[in-house]
Homo-oligomer: A and B are copies of this chain.
Amino acid sequence: MKEERRLIMLPGPTNIPDRVTRAMTKPLISHRGPEFAALYDSITEGLKYTYQTKQDVFVLTSSGTGAVECSISNILNPGDKVVVPVFGLFSERIKEKVTLHGGQAVEVPVAWGDVPTAEQIAEAVEKEKGVKAIAVVYNETSTGATVRDLQKIGEIAKENDLILVVDAISILGGDHLPVDDWGVDICVTGSQKCLACPPGLATISVSEKAWETMRKTRARPYYFDLVRIREHHSRKETPFTPALHLYYALDEALKVIKEEGLENRFKRHATCAKAFYTALEAMRLKPYPKKEARSNTVIAINVPAGVDGAKVMEAMKERYKVVIAGGLGKITKLIFRVGCMGTVSEAEILTTVNAFENALADLKYPVKIGAGVEAARRVFHS
- Please name 18 pairs of A and B residues whose Cβ atoms are closer than 8 Å in the assembled complex, sorted by A: A1-B39, A12-B241, A15-B28, A21-B245, A24-B245, A25-B25, A33-B317, A61-B62, A61-B66, A64-B240, A65-B223, A100-B222, A192-B241, A199-B243, A199-B244, A200-B244, A221-B221, A245-B245
In the complex, the chain B residue whose C-beta lies closest to that of A220 is B100
| A184-218 with Cβ < 8 A to chain B | 190, 192, 198-201
**Measured CA separation A180–B5 after assembly (Å):** 40
Question: Given that A240-B65, A246-B243 are contacting pairs, would A13 and B28 also be in contact in the complex, using a CB cutoff of 8 Å?
Answer: yes
A8 CB–B CB distance under 8 Å: yes
Q: How many copies of this chain does the complex contain?
A: 2
- Whether A26 sits at the interface, judged by CB under 8 Å, is yes
Contact string against B for A residues 244-258, beta-carbon threshold 8 Å, 1 for contact and 0 otherwise: 111001000000000
> Whose C-beta in chain B lies nearest to the C-beta of A192?
B241
Name A residues whose Cβ lies closer than 8 Å to a Cβ of B: 1-6, 8, 10, 12-13, 15-16, 21-22, 24-33, 35, 38-39, 42, 61-66, 69, 93, 96-97, 100, 190, 192, 198-201, 219, 221-224, 239-246, 249, 317, 323, 325
Partner of A66, one of B223, B244, B246: B223
Q: Name the B residues within 8 Å of A39 (CB-CB).
A: 1
* In the complex, chain B residues whose CB is within 8 Å of the CB of A26: 3
- What's the least CB distance linking A188 to chain B, in Å? 12
Nearest-neighbor residue (CB-CB) of A16 within chain B: B28
Q: Which residues of B have CB within 8 Å of A3?
A: 26-27
Q: Which residue of B lies closest to A190 (CB)?
A: B241
Flag if B35 contacts A1 (CB, 8 Å).
yes
B24–A62 CB distance below 8 A: no
Please tell me which one of the listed residues B24, B32, B244 contacts residue A25 in the complex, with CB atoms under 8 A apart. Answer: B24
Say yes or no: A62 contacts B65, CB within 8 Å.
Answer: no
Contact A246 B244 (CB under 8 A): no
- Shortest C-beta distance, A40 to chain B (Å), equals 11
- In whole angstroms, what is the CA distance A16 to B249 when docked? 17
CB distance from A165 to the nearest CB of B (A): 15
